[in-house]
Structure 1
Amino acid sequence: MSLKHKQKLIDLLVGTDDYLSATEISEHLGVSTRTIHSYLNSLAPIIKCTGLSLEKKTGLGIKLNGDTNKVSELLQTLEKQATLDLEPSDRQQIIFKRLLQGERVSYLDLADQYFVSRSTIVKDMKAIRETYSIGQSSFSFNNEGTKLEVTERMLQEMWGKYFYVSYSKLFGNPPYSLIHYSAFIKDELFLSNEAVNVLIQSVEELGTKYQLAEYYRIQLFENLSLLYYRVSQDYHFEGLSGYIFERVTELDTYYIAHDLASHIQESLDVVFSTQDILFLNQCLVANGLKQDLVLEGHSYFEYLADELIVKIGKIMNEDLSEDEQLKTGLLHHLVPMLFRLRNDITLTNPYIHEIKKQYSMMFHLTWYVVVDMENELGIRMPEDEIGFLMIHFQSALERKRDIKKVLIICQSGLLTTEILERRIKQFLPSVHVYEMISEEKVANVDLSKVDLIISTVDLTISGPPVIELSSIPTDRELSDVVQRMNDIFESNSHSVDRIYDQDEEHPLIHSLKNRLTIKRAHLHSESEALKYLTKPLVDAQLVNPDYLDSVFQREAMSSTAFETGVAIPHGNPSYVNQTHISILVNEKKITWGKEKVDVIILISVAKEDMEHISMIIGRIYDMMQSRSEVERIFINQSDQSIYRYLARHQ
């Protein structure tokens, strides 16, 4: 339980003579009623020690009794206890916020304040630099301590990262709701109710007028709040130069930024500089306000959208050229996306973790699709942007293939559920597992969004059809499911075809054994492993010497490691002369991004084979869905078994 929540809970109880229900308190704090009861139980001993008492009455709620003059003593006690009980990550968050607020901090003073050693503070500062990707040059040092010395743009970007980390840590997920996130930022920056209301109203009006998605509204509110907060403290953006300064006043959105700034100035008594308004305009474009202009003669963006559609269609063996919804969606996304990339503006994708886990194959295929666009425009696309694009492609594919959405309900633990999901995907490739949940959570799921329920427990519900299955089903059981699904979905054979059947005799797959290298070694780092796998390819002229750099660049943008202990690095197809797969089974796990891996599969695909890459990647993804499968195929079997598996000659 955070100190902030404890203080807010006490403030709520002190601020009224009436009883407050757990529901009322939970709405104020943004947590569940169960959490509120847990909070109250943890606070009870401290409240009692200060001479106050909690009174609970059934049907009425909770009330704080006693001398209210002792409240300040209670809050001081809470703060001291919180300081003693701080987790390292919490302490690092507090220190970083103090730095963001312009404070010069002394290691010795921090050690005294948080009751830890100076060496612990040194570790905290190192963790802060790593968490927020801050270089040593961003700090100034003197006898009085350490201080952040960065540009206004960099500082506001750091504030944004701080918000993201703090919110995710506090609530267990990234911000999904503008109202909820605005309350969080209000508390962090001590903004007035008036300021928050003006900023929310401004964002909602823009969002409605320009049909902005919720994640754009959340990001825009964050930008506006930080800009207002800093300007109100008399901090402004410095003169902008280069592309932004020369071209931003020509953008059609500049007048919107100017009007928005004028409205905030009049409402909240602040004054924006010209540079502040230029930055505000960048925020508007980066958060989607160009989309109403896209379809009015932007032939170059139409060309880019058409190219992407053709490429993903070839890779997935589907003609998506007639999907107007896909083209319109891409056009609406490409203009602000390219503006962001050209001007080093970051937009965090709040769903990136779920995207990489649930749609990992499509995520990596999307990267192959955008490689040529990256080369043509001279940009590098981060994983957040690839995730946004992937959503458009995945949605189009589901529309084209009429992919059925399945909800899995499992009584057993997560491991069993993951095994069940993997088995279903192997037999039913055109099924999209909407979610995997336990029986108790059925009431919280909108069943209208799924076409079928597969359950390992007895269910009595109204809604989509239910098929019962064992927790770890046999091939026979899954074959029965295929038949039942055919009956339910009117024999839609496309939805239940076994994967790869149509591609089994493709020359690329047939010759895979000659395009595959398997090595076993004892290496110590990601860099060493990539060089080890790439050198033989360069020596054999299968790839160009520049290929290794492109692999490193790809990893720098987004790690290709998975929690099952596998990494699937890949580089720019422009540097590949002949498609090849290089597999390294390492003796011990090595650090790869944020994961530990011992199986590395370097996928080197030539441009002429790009449209068939899904066949290769599909097989690889099959065997990396669980750690037990990885060990069965790679760790515990011979090289020949791996050859047979990939070439489907089992």
Structure 2
Amino acid sequence: MLTSNEQYLVEQLMAKEEFQSFQSLAESLNVSVRTIRNLLHRIQPFLTGNNLKVERKYGVGIRLTQIEETEENVNIIPFVDFSAIYRREVLKLLLLLNFRQKTSINKLAEQFYVSKNAIFLDLKIIEKELWIYNLCLERDHEGTKIKGKRKLIKRAIIDIVHQFGISILYENNKYISDNENILYSVLNPKFEQLIVEVLHDLKERYGYRFNFDFLQTLIIHLSVDILLFGKENKKQEEPKTAATAGEYFQMRIETALMINFSQRYNKERFQEYCTAFSFFEGKEGTNHSAAALLESFEDISGIELRDKDGLINELNQYLYQIELRQEYRIAVFHPMLNHFLSNYGAQFVALKLAHWNQPDLNVKMTDDEIAFELVYVLNHCYGNKRDFQVLVKLNASEELQRFVLQKLEKEFPLSSFHAEASLEYADMELAVTFSPDSNTAKSRNEIDLNNPKQLELLRERIAYQRAEKIVSAVEEQFDYQTFLLEVPDKKRKDDVLAMIKTIVLKQYPVSEQNWFDLIEEDKINPTFWIEKQAALLVLETEKVTRSSLLKFELPIQVRWRNNNELSRVRKVYFFLSKHVELEESTTLYKAIQFDRTIKKIIEEEENE
């Protein structure tokens, strides 16, 4: 069993992949360098048992590296993931799934093979993490338990599954419940097979169609329901008749797992699940905000959707289902949320900004729900809007004009080309002359479609002028400022936010309460710009008279959300306004999307 200092030293070594000096480790633990050396000697058996070794580099420091397993070197603690972060999440999961009963510190220390001091430290961190869900820890001489509403507990569980995958439930089931029969029936991959089988039976008996996009969500909710309200029932009772799909669903689950739900369980819960996750094929949605939402999305992202009628109907149905789920207090889990943030970060942020521009939209969507919505949009036929106008001087027949314009638009998908016989009255962002012979194309405004060099020069000019257009829009609409923040070596998000808060409150009349509300929203639904390694904070406050866009450059990468490796950022965009208008959202989106181009142009202008 590790002492608190030994445990903390392991955490410090695991937190960084690079070498750390003895002096920095001693300062972080508030002990001497000699004590660090003694601690390293004492934790050596623990490291060896977990296939780790200490790599030393003279004059630099030490770090942990993994060693290959051999027959002589078998992990002596195979069921304990020594990563303090992972262990803490499992501990949090245990408390969440057993929130109706208290668990003693001694029992937790025995289960996780750590000292009581290590458990105390974990509980302090867990208490802060639970606070954002309006959950709290209740402690007394009998033990510790979580206090709060069940819907908030499910939300916290879903966030854990986001970070570590649904396997965290299966791999750690021995910690989660004392009831082995229920435990191994539910936290088992075979439970999913049972759910799928029952859903197919519902289709045959009641004509019910389940939307299998929400299968993992349903499994998580049912698992929590059974662990919280399920009781063993070994008596084989005669099957009851079920009037609704929900009653049949519950009866099948109780019979298969040999359980009964307690009296405190909502009898309508299974029917609510069936309604909220049904497949609405061919039915008109009752919410009619989808058309305005898609228009905002197109304007912000620069994407042009084609044949939108079918998509609008699908989104109306989806928004209606969200209203149902919120009414039934059902949180949604998207198994590919991190994938969407990594690969479709631009479209994700554009869709989230579009939601901010819809005050009439009554539903407040989580990141998971926006990810499902984005699937509908990306599955639809779309292309990029041609937002840059180019005039081409072309004296030729209509057939040749059509041929030249089609080829130019194929080469330049973001530009729209128009043919005229003269450039005298050109009211376009760029004007060029078509030259069919490269030998006569002497001016930079003359282009030959068969000359790759001239096409490349034109491509550079268009890209440059499009970026200039964005720069002027940003400077005209926003108070655009850039700050370089020197962040401490600990790379903590709280340190960055504290620095940003100091700058913002000095320059703008923002209340502490507005700031507090913003940070709470960011903790639950953060917006990351993954491709650019940036984060976006939007603060709406009545005290700001002019919208402001601030950019904070960070010399290091900050973990913007605890334990989430995908959320490291180097820039933080901070937007203040009374209300996020569509035009502002569009400019804000482009400012982030074309940040590198803008930076390059500004540097060139400064050099001139």
Aligned match of 2:318: 333
Does structure 2 conserve the Cα–Cα contact (< 8 Å) formed by 1:200 and 1:221?
no
Aligned match of 2:480: 516
Percentage of matched positions with identical amino acids: 14
Does 2:593 correspond to 1:621? yes
Aligned match of 1:386: 370
* Cα distance in 1 between the residues matched to 2:501 and 2:569: 16
* Cα distance in 1 between the residues matched to 2:114 and 2:264: 46
Does structure 1 conserve the Cα–Cα contact (< 8 Å) formed by 2:151 and 2:330?
no
Amino acid at match of 2:278: L
* Cα distance in 2 between the residues matched to 1:429 and 1:189: 52
* Cα distance in 1 between the residues matched to 2:327 and 2:146: 26
Higher-RCO chain (CA-CA 8 Å, sequence separation at least 6): 2
**1:87 deviation in Å?**
3.6
**1:304 deviation in Å?**
0.8
State the Cα deviation string for residues 561-593 of structure 1 (Å, max 9, x = none).
557664332234988754442233467776644
* Cα distance in 2 between the residues matched to 1:97 and 1:505: 50
Aligned match of 2:214: 216
Does 2:71 correspond to 1:81? no
Normalized per residue, the structure richer in strand is 2
State the Cα deviation string for residues 159-200 of structure 1 (Å, max 9, x = none).
655655554566999xxxxxxxxxxx985746696x765433
**1:118 deviation in Å?**
2.1
What SS does the corresponding residue of 2:78 show, helix, strand or coil? helix
Q: Please, what TM-score do these two structures have when normalized by structure 2?
A: 0.57
**1:136 deviation in Å?**
9.8
* Cα distance in 2 between the residues matched to 1:371 and 1:346: 20
* Cα distance in 2 between the residues matched to 1:192 and 1:561: 32
Aligned match of 1:351: 336
**1:365 deviation in Å?**
1.8
Amino acid at match of 1:222: I
* Cα distance in 2 between the residues matched to 1:87 and 1:602: 34
For structure 1, the 5+ residue unaligned runs are 1-40, 48-77, 174-184, 236-253, 404-426, 431-479, 487-492, 634-640
State the Cα deviation string for residues 91-133 of structure 1 (Å, max 9, x = none).
4455456543566433345445654332112123334445666
Map 1:382-461 → 2, pairs under 5 A: 382-396=366-380, 399-401=382-384
Distance 1:613 1:198, change over 3 A: closer
State the Cα deviation string for residues 203-250 of structure 1 (Å, max 9, x = none).
345589665444312222333344345444269xxxxxxxxxxxxxxx
| Higher Rg of the two aligned structures | 2
Does structure 2 conserve the Cα–Cα contact (< 8 Å) formed by 1:223 and 1:283?
no
What SS does the corresponding residue of 1:82 show, helix, strand or coil? coil
What SS does the corresponding residue of 2:330 show, helix, strand or coil? coil
**1:334 deviation in Å?**
0.8
Count of aligned pairs:
445
* Cα distance in 2 between the residues matched to 1:576 and 1:135: 29
Provide the alpha-carbon RMSD of the alignment: 5.3
Q: Please, what TM-score do these two structures have when normalized by structure 1?
A: 0.54
Distance 1:549 1:94, change over 3 A: closer
Map 1:495-574 → 2, pairs under 5 A: 505=469, 509=473, 511-512=475-476, 515-520=479-484, 525-532=495-502, 534-535=504-505, 538=508, 551-552=518-519, 554-561=521-528, 566-572=534-540
Map 1:11-30 → 2, pairs under 5 A: none
Does structure 1 conserve the Cα–Cα contact (< 8 Å) formed by 2:246 and 2:274?
yes
* Cα distance in 2 between the residues matched to 1:207 and 1:292: 14
**1:338 deviation in Å?**
2.3
State the Cα deviation string for residues 360-399 of structure 1 (Å, max 9, x = none).
22222212211244x4356543222222223333444x53
Distance 1:499 1:284, change over 3 A: farther
Aligned match of 1:199: 195
Map 1:2-401 → 2, pairs under 5 A: 44-45=71-72, 81-82=77-78, 86-89=82-85, 91-92=87-88, 95-96=91-92, 98-99=94-95, 100-101=97-98, 104-112=102-110, 114-129=112-127, 138-148=136-146, 167=165, 187=184, 189=186, 197-205=193-201, 212-233=210-231, 255-265=244-254, 269-272=258-261, 275-286=265-276, 288-289=277-278, 291-292=280-281, 294-295=283-284, 298=286, 301=287, 303-317=288-302, 320=305, 322-373=307-358, 375-376=359-360, 380-396=364-380, 399-401=382-384
Amino acid at match of 1:376: D
Distance 1:224 1:600, change over 3 A: closer
* Cα distance in 1 between the residues matched to 2:385 and 2:183: 44
Distance 1:157 1:84, change over 3 A: closer
* Cα distance in 2 between the residues matched to 1:545 and 1:596: 26
